[in-house]
Structure 1
Amino acid sequence: MQAQPTAAMRFFSGTYVEARAKFLEAAAQRGATVESFVMEAHRGALGEELATDVALVGAIDAKKVLLVSSGTHGPEGFCGSGTQIATLNDADLLSRLEQAGVSLLLVHAVNPHGFSHLHRTNEDNIDLNRNHIDFNAPLPVNAEYADVEPLVLPATWPPTPADEAAVATYVEKHGMRAFRAAVTRGQYTSPDGLFYGGTAPSWSNRTIRKILRKYAASATHLGWIDVHTGLGPYGHGEKIYPGRNTPEDLARAHAWWGADVFAPFAGDSASADVSGPVISTAYDECPNAKIAPMGLEFGTLPDLEVLDRLRADTWLRRHPEAPEAQKREIRTRLRDGFYCDNDEWKGMILGQTRVVLLQTLQGLRKA
């Protein structure tokens, strides 16, 4: 007898196409206002239309907005989409939001190209959490990246023992913390390298700004949860504060979400202190709002294993001549590095996300 799908299973999807269809269906059933921002220049892995879809539950001119975004980093969208669809099916939570006068704004697939094609980066190999900077100012400098790129992106994949020994030598000399920072904090000099930030605002950057201007322009208070995966212990949701380093903003984050909020700039987060996260656009586009941002980061595999899978994916972009079997293996391993397709993990994600959303609602209600 075949087991019946659990509640946790039915909210999640196996492809971008399935995730988008489920999201749009759930939004329609909830009576949400829906708008799709279609990526005209590209198609998906199955030839499908690519879009960032928005669902608004509540008033478009609400003073208090709870925003949940997914898929900033491509296949991390499998997790984020599941949490958004679960939220649209959570009648109790939606009733609490309505009673508090808080609008719920769901942004599905910030990076639809990466979601569909199973790349963490976008159509131009841009890491979107390194792209939301002021491009009229000098680009951030990561001088150490040039030294580590030949080590982490060798000529062949998988790396040879000599390649791995070179990485080990760098780590021994500079330390693991310095190695990770050099690789992951973002770089603007190597377009086909790791954690590339781009030289201009990406399509997704421009799109998220349009969404904020239209759906959060009236907000005096904005709580933004951007769902991520790939860092930290398996199934644990770290509350990462990617906002401004001011006493007022930090105090707001701790008041809303508790003592277990970690800031990359303080050095106590699983995340590097990166330049240009997507959430930073709120400060530009909603200047009259008090903003409480969170990157909700769910662990999957050990950090260095996830990084190795990112290295493989970036190597593959440099080597389109790779055999088809190797391409499939690298893409599958990348997906599995950011999405644990089992009930245990999904249940952990849904439970912790609901707690964070309730905490955010309470913060907005009291603001």
Structure 2
Amino acid sequence: MAQHAEAFFAQSYAEARTKFLAAAEAAGLDVESRAHPLLGREGEALALDVLRQGPARGRAERLLILSSACHGVEGFAGSGIQCGLLADPQWLAAVRASGVCVLYLHGLNPHGFSWWRRVTQEGVDLNRNFVDFHQRPLPANPGYEELASALLPRQWPPSAENEARLSDYIARHGRAAWQQAVSGGQYTQELGLFYGGHAPTWSHITLRHVLEEHLAGVRELAWIDLHTGLGPCGHGERIYTGQDTGESLARARQWWGAGVTSLSEGNSSSAPLVGLMWSIVEPVFAQVAPGARYTGMALEFGTVPLDEMILALRADHWLEAHPEAPPEQVLAIKRQIRDAFYIDTPAWKAQLLAQASEAAHQTLAGLNSGSPFSSSPT
């Protein structure tokens, strides 16, 4: 199983995209590509590639989105999963039999995927970028403001005194408060971690256009967004992504199991976050699919311990602010950031593909469960 899974994963964005396009062709499916304005680290073209399997636009009442690379470098895992599903005859047959439309979004943030960064070309965490930028002030994060200069010091690696500041914050506020301060999202430090931006990014705008085109006429939407970086290595945490309503969370647990976690309940490996991508669903529904119902999750696969992952992010953001860094340090930091979000072993990849396949099949069953459609999005 591990050797079989290995074939679907890649060592670069260019290779991952090539494998995805080949998998689509082998499955007899067409890909629609939204070209990115910049080139990748190998000089390759970048794009959000959209593959639709099942009923044509406007003819699908039930639709499942499987998306990868919201956080760039996490796309190594998500792309491998998408390619594995497209090569699985049982999955393809199950989709055909279900009548459900499956929309594969490969490379939501292709620039970060190619350049081994978590953020977009604008330096933005795409999963913090979905706030109303017309409203002021933008969400505040005083904890991050306090920690900003310690998280990204002038010199790298950080000094013992610098790390002591972070330890002191944890001692005073606790690890949960520290994680939320660091990762919850911030809108003031443009070179900082988990920066939500000052306007919608290219990926944000492009995703919205794709959804507006493909969700027309849909009455029931499920969305599995593939992530890595949190939790025990190889374990796929099913994190509910939706409004804090009992009905929709109960439905998620009916489909995907009682182990589905929730940010609002505080039982997830993730801290509470702002500007999340799933929040785009309701305004799109209002425009092209009024009355549709949504059920979503982030399928989060563990890699390395949290402190190690945050350290890799800090190093990568420091590097972006210090282009004068020597070549050997550049290479070390880039390898560090990729290794924090992609465990390049056959066993890890097999774990991911098996768990994602199970979740995808469960979603088809949920969409076909015959439950009545709600009168409004939840």
**Letter paired with 2:23:** A
Q: Does 2:242 correspond to 1:239? A: no
Return the TM-score normalized by structure 2: 0.94
**CA offsets, 1:278-334, max 9 Å, x none?**
222122212432111110000000111001100101111111111111111101110
Offset from partner CA, 1:96-144 (integer Å, 9 cap, x none): 1211110111000000000000000010110000001221223111122
Cα pair 2:2 2:349 within 8 Å, conserved: no
Aligned to 2:74, what secondary structure does the other structure show? helix
For residue 225 of structure 2, what is the amino acid of its counterpart?
D
- The answer to whether the Cα contact below 8 Å between 1:35 and 1:55 also exists between their aligned partners in 2 is yes
In structure 1, C-alpha distance between the alignment counterparts of 2:39 and 2:261, rounded to whole Å: 37
CA distance in 2, matches of 1:80, 1:316: 25
Equivalence for 1:321:
324
Q: Deviations over 1:3-22 (max 9, x none)?
A: x9921111000000000011
Choose 43-52 or 167-176, whichever is displaced more.
Answer: 167-176
Answer yes or no: is the 8 Å Cα contact 1:132–1:281 preserved in 2. Answer: yes
The counterpart of 1:349, out of the listed 348, 352, 376, is 352
Identity of aligned residues (%): 45
Q: Which amino acid letter does the alignment assign opposite residue 58 of structure 1?
A: G
Aligned partner letter, 1:295: A
User: Does residue 153 of structure 1 match 2:149?
Assistant: no
Given that 1:31 and 1:57 are in contact with CA atoms closer than 8 Å, whether structure 2 keeps it comes out as: no
Is the contact between residue 226 and residue 279 of structure 1 (CA under 8 Å) also seen in structure 2? no
Match of 2:52 in 1: 56
Deviates more, 1:81-90 or 1:158-167: 158-167
- Give 1:168 shift: 1.0
What amino acid does structure 1 have at the position aligned with 2:55?
Answer: A
When the two chains are superposed, the root-mean-square deviation of aligned CA atoms in Å is 1.3
- Give deviations 1:198-257, integer Å, cap 9, x for gaps: 011100001111111111222111110000000000000000012100112112111111
TM-score normalised by the chain length of structure 1: 0.97
Distance 2:282 2:325 in 1: 42
Deviation larger for 55-64 or 18-27: 55-64
Structure 1 regions of 5+ residues with no counterpart? none
Tell me, in whole angstroms, the C-alpha distance in 2 between the residues paired with 1:303 and 1:39.
31
* Contact 1:83–1:349 under 8 Å retained in 2: yes
How far apart in 2 are the matches of 1:358 and 1:323?
A: 48
**Equivalent in the alignment of 2:376:** none
Q: Where in structure 2 are there 5+ consecutive unaligned residues? A: 372-378
Q: Distance in 1 between matches of 2:266 and 2:134?
A: 28
Runs of 4+ off more than 4 Å: none
Distance 2:163 2:172 in 1: 14
Report the alpha carbon displacement of residue 36 of structure 1 after superposing the two structures with TM.
0.2
Partner Cα separation in structure 2 for residue 211 and residue 46 of structure 1: 26
Is 1:310 aligned to 2:313, yes or no?
yes
Cα distance between partner residues in 2 of 1:187 and 1:102: 38
State whether residues 241 and 295 of structure 2, in contact with CA within 8 Å, keep that contact through their aligned partners in structure 1.
Answer: no
1:142 maps to 2:141 = yes
Pairs within 5 Å for 1:54-93: 54-60=50-56, 61-93=59-91
1:47 aligns with 2:50: no
Aligned counterparts of 2:62 and 2:131: Cα–Cα separation in 1? 26
Aligned residue for 2:209?
210
**Between 66-75 and 273-282, the greater mean CA deviation after superposition:** 273-282
SS, match of residue 264 in structure 2 = helix
Which range moves more in the overlay, 137-146 or 294-303?
Answer: 137-146
After superposition, residues 266-305 of structure 1 pair within 5 angstroms as 266-287=265-286, 288=290, 289-305=292-308
The aligned runs of 1:78-117 (5 Å cut-off) are 78-117=76-115
Range 23-32 or range 109-118, more displaced:
23-32
Which residue in the other structure is 1:261 paired with? 260
CA contact (8 A) 1:64 1:219 kept: yes
Cα separation, 2, equivalents of 1:148 and 1:74: 25
